[in-house]
Each structure stands twice: as C-alpha cells, then as structure tokens.
C-alpha cells in the first residue's frame, strides 16, 4: 500500500538554494518539491528542512562499547545508545568506525570488532536502529596484526569505507612530540625511559609494516570497489602516495600544504566538526575554519561529538560570507554521500531517499526537532 506524507511551511535547504515551501514524500522517496507552502500537510512552522546528515568518521560507538579502560559493554546496548544519539543529532547515515590492529598502545582483540559488526547487522534485522549504519574500518597499518583483523571483514558488504592510519610518533598527526608526549607519556604516567622505549617500538613497527600493509589493504579495496581514505597526511609526499592508492577521502590533513594538494587532486578533504565548534584542533594541528576560508574544506565529520555535525555548518555559514548555508550543509550531506558512492541520499531532490531533518535555529546551537529516514519518523 502506498504511503504519503507532506511537510509544509518549511525552509527547504537544497544543494544551492533555500526555498520556502513543501516536500511530498511517497513510499520512502522524495516525490515532489514545491517553492510555495501547501494548505494540506504537516506544518513545520517555518523551521529548516535539511537532508539527513551523512557521517563518515565517528569513533563514538567505540566509546559506548568500551566506556572505561578494560570495560566492555553489551554490544547491542552500546549500539542502541550510540544510534539514539546520532539520530537525534540529525544523522541518518553513519559509518561506524571499527579499529583494525592492536598493539601495546591498546585497541581491541581479534574477533571483538567482528562481533560488533555482527551485532550491528542483527540490530538492523531486528529493526532496533533509527539511522542507517555502514562500516568504516580504521586500519592501523603499523601494527603487526592489522591484516589478521582485516581478513575477518574481507567479504562483508557492510564495509563501505577503509582508512589507512599510522599514528607512530614523529610524522603525520604527531609531527612534533609535544602532543604525542601528552597523549602517551603524561596521561599514562610513563617514566622518561619507558616513554623513549615506547616511541622507539612504535617507530620500528611503522618502518617494518606500514607500507606493506597499506599496499595489501588498498589492493583489496580496489578489487572490491570500497572507498579508501588517507589519514593525517602532512606532506606532499603523503599526498602523492595517496594519489597512487586511488584515495577518495583525505581525513584530517595536518598541514595546509597537504590539504591544498589533496583538494587539488580531486580528493574530498575531511576535517572534524568539533574543530569548527572549538575554533581549533584538539591535537594542535591546523584549524578547519582556515581551510574553509581557503576553499579546500569539503566534508565535516562529528568525530567524537555527534551533535557537532549539525552545529558546525551553521557556525561556518554565520562566520564566513563566502560559505552559504546550503554550501555548509552540503559538507555534511551531499559531498560525503558522493565521496563514498551513495548517490541515493544526501540531497533534497526528487527521486532520492526521504532522509530529512527538521531544525529550529532560534539562536546559537540549532535544535533538531524531527528526523525521518526513508520517510519514516525516527526521532
């Protein structure tokens, strides 16, 4: 039986314009868009109607699964708590990051992330989820066991994005030792000798394994048509390497030089929405607002604060005359969707999925009032 819903008296944020009108949803798809309000339908009181947000990189599920060091929460309960928070933030498609590779720095044992993925799939089948969940494998290529973890996902259709990461000290995110020392030595209370040995071990692992594992994982993804992301690129050599791997997404470049080069090579440059909200990087690297001003910021990710994904576009639009609200919203909807090949969502356009978010923005932080996924209200 056909179902139909009309949302009227809405400020509809299209990809390049805002119109005051109505949207007709039929059988889970956007059927009509009008630039004038209709008499019939659900009156949303002049609020914004946005496309559902598309989140490509969030570690938030890990935080629910392991809320304290050494603590493991029930997987289904962790998934539902995470899902409720992302959906209420306007995120209708979320790529849940699962870490591949563990070492003395920590991480998860082989099988843990496979169990999490299985629980995600089961939660979907049981209609427990509000958002559409896909998988992003965060592959720590400098670990000796990353391929062992990765092989558990080699044929998993939920995997739609893979990032190649190396957090060894002295390069990429940790080009200087100040932040690395804070992350590892200070927080863990290491002695100078223990910290020096820890750094040597991480650097040795990177030298031994990083390129070999990058090559193997990138080749597998190319064969399966999975989008691949670079991570924390800092130099032109890093960007050239990414081009060679067919990278589509440059996550969190740590220098203006790398961001410019990545954008110029046709990659989507991703930065954290918390970086926009705070006005700076938590790890002391470049400010996302600076990249936006330069015109080389393409995608925002909530990273570790789900609500930041709806807050950051409004901040960008408020503070940068060159960035309209539709352009800013595209950074959290249309562009991330296109980057990973999801052409059925991310925009309010006839024929696409009716993934929609009603937002009131009286002043300051926007308020998510309703969320629809494929025409069904989920929040």
| Mean pLDDT calculated for residue range 46-51 | 98
Is residue 326 predicted with pLDDT exceeding 90? yes
CA 292/CA 299 separation, integer angstroms: 10
- What letter does residue 46 receive in the DSSP assignment? T
Report whether pLDDT(173) > 70.
no
Taking only the tens place, the pLDDT of each residue in 366-378 is: 999 999 999 999 9
Look up residue 372 and give its two tokens.
């629809």
Cα separation, 39 vs 191, in Å, equals 71
Task: Check pLDDT > 90 for residue 282.
Answer: no
Strand (E) or helix (H) holding 338: helix 334-339
Contact 267, 296 (CB under 8 A): no
Q: What is the CA radius of gyration of the chain?
A: 21
Please enumerate in sequence order all residues whose Cβ is within 8 A of that of 354, keeping only pairs 6 or more positions apart, or say none: 5, 23, 25, 28, 29, 30, 372, 374, 375
Q: Please state, as a whole number, how many other Cβ atoms lie within 10 Å of the Cβ of residue 32.
A: 14
Q: What tens digit of pLDDT does each residue of 230-249 get?
A: 998 999 999 999 999 999 99
pLDDT at 93: 98
What is the C-alpha to C-alpha distance for residues 329 and 261, in angstroms, rounded to an integer?
23
Of 131 and 175, the structure prediction assigns the larger pLDDT to 131
| CA–CA distance, 372 with 360 (Å, rounded to integer) | 15
CA angle (51 as vertex; 323, 89 as ends), nearest 5: 90
* Residue 266 burial (10 A CB sphere; 0-12, 13-18, 19+): exposed
Segment 49-59 mean pLDDT: 97
188 pLDDT above the threshold of 70 = no
- Burial code (b: 16+ CB inside 10 Å, e: under 16) for 302-334 equals bbbbbbbbbbbbbbbbeeeeebbbbbbbbbbbb
Tokens of residue 285, six digits: 């690297």
Band the pLDDT of 90: cuts 50, 70, 90. very high
DSSP E strand stretches across the chain: 4-13, 18-26, 29-34, 42-43, 48-51, 53-58, 91-100, 132-140, 159-165, 227-231, 249-251, 268-272, 299-301, 356-360, 367-373, 376-377
State whether residue 59 is helix, strand or coil: coil
Chain-centroid distance of CA 344 in Å reads 18
> Quick one: pLDDT at residue 197?
76
State the pLDDT at residue 193.
Answer: 79
pLDDT of residue 184: 65
pLDDT digits (tens, 9 = 90+) for 190-231: 787 777 777 888 788 888 899 999 999 999 999 999 999 999
- Looking at residue 172, the DSSP 8-state letter turns out to be G
Q: Are 270 and 279 in contact (CB under 8 A)?
A: no
Neighbour-count burial for 269-291, b at 16+ CB within 10 Å, e otherwise: bbbbbbbbbbebbebebbbbbeb
- Res. 49: pLDDT tops 60: yes
Q: Which domains does the chain have, with CATH numbers?
A: 52-345 (3.20.20.140)
Question: Which range is least confidently modeled, 172-181, 305-314, 351-360?
Answer: 172-181
∠ CA 26-368-358, rounded to 5°? 30
pTM (predicted TM-score): 0.92
Dihedral angle over CA of 332, 337, 343, 349, nearest 10: 0
Find the mean pLDDT for residues 292-313. 96
142-168 confidence digits (pLDDT tens): 999 999 999 999 999 999 999 999 877
- Which residue is listed with tokens 């604060």? 305
């Amino acid at each position: 039986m056909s179902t139909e819903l009309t949302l009227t008296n809405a400020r509809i944020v299209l990809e390049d314009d805002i119109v005051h009108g109505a949207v007709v949803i039929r059988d889970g798809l956007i059927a009509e868009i009008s630039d004038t309000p209709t008499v019939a339908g659900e009156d949303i009181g002049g609020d914004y109607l946005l496309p559902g947000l598309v989140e490509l990189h969030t570690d938030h599920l890990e935080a629910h699964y392991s809320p304290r060091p050494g603590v493991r929460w029930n997987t289904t309960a962790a998934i539902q708590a995470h899902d409720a928070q992302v959906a209420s933030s306007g995120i209708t498609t979320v790529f849940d990051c699962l870490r591949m590779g563990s070492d003395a720095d920590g991480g998860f044992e082989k099988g843990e992330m496979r169990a999490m993925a299985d629980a995600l799939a089961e939660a979907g089948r049981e209609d427990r989820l509000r958002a559409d969940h896909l998988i992003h494998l965060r592959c720590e290529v400098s670990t000796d066991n990353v391929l062992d973890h990765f092989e558990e996902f080699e044929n998993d259709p939920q995997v739609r994005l893979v990032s190649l990461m190396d957090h060894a000290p002295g390069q990429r995110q940790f080009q200087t030792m100040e932040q690395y020392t804070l992350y590892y030595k200070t927080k863990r209370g290491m002695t100078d000798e223990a910290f020096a040995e820890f750094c040597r071990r991480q650097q040795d692992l990177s030298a031994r394994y990083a390129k070999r594992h990058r090559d193997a994982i990138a080749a597998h993804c190319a064969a399966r048509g999975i989008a691949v992301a670079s991570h924390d690129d800092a130099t032109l050599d890093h960007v050239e390497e990414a081009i060679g791997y067919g990278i589509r997404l440059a996550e969190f470049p740590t220098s203006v030089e790398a961001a410019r080069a990545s954008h110029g090579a046709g990659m989507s440059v991703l930065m954290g929405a918390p970086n926009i909200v705070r006005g700076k990087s938590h790890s002391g690297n470049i400010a996302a607002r600076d990249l936006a001003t330069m015109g080389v910021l393409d995608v925002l990710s909530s990273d570790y604060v789900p609500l930041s994904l709806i807050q950051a576009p409004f901040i960008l639009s408020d503070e940068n005359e060159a960035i309209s609200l539709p352009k800013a919203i595209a950074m959290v909807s249309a562009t991330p969707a296109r980057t990973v090949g999801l052409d059925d969502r991310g925009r309010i356009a006839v024929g696409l999925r009716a993934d929609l978010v009603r937002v009131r923005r009286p002043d300051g932080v926007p308020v998510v009032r309703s969320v629809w996924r494929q025409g069904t209200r989920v929040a």
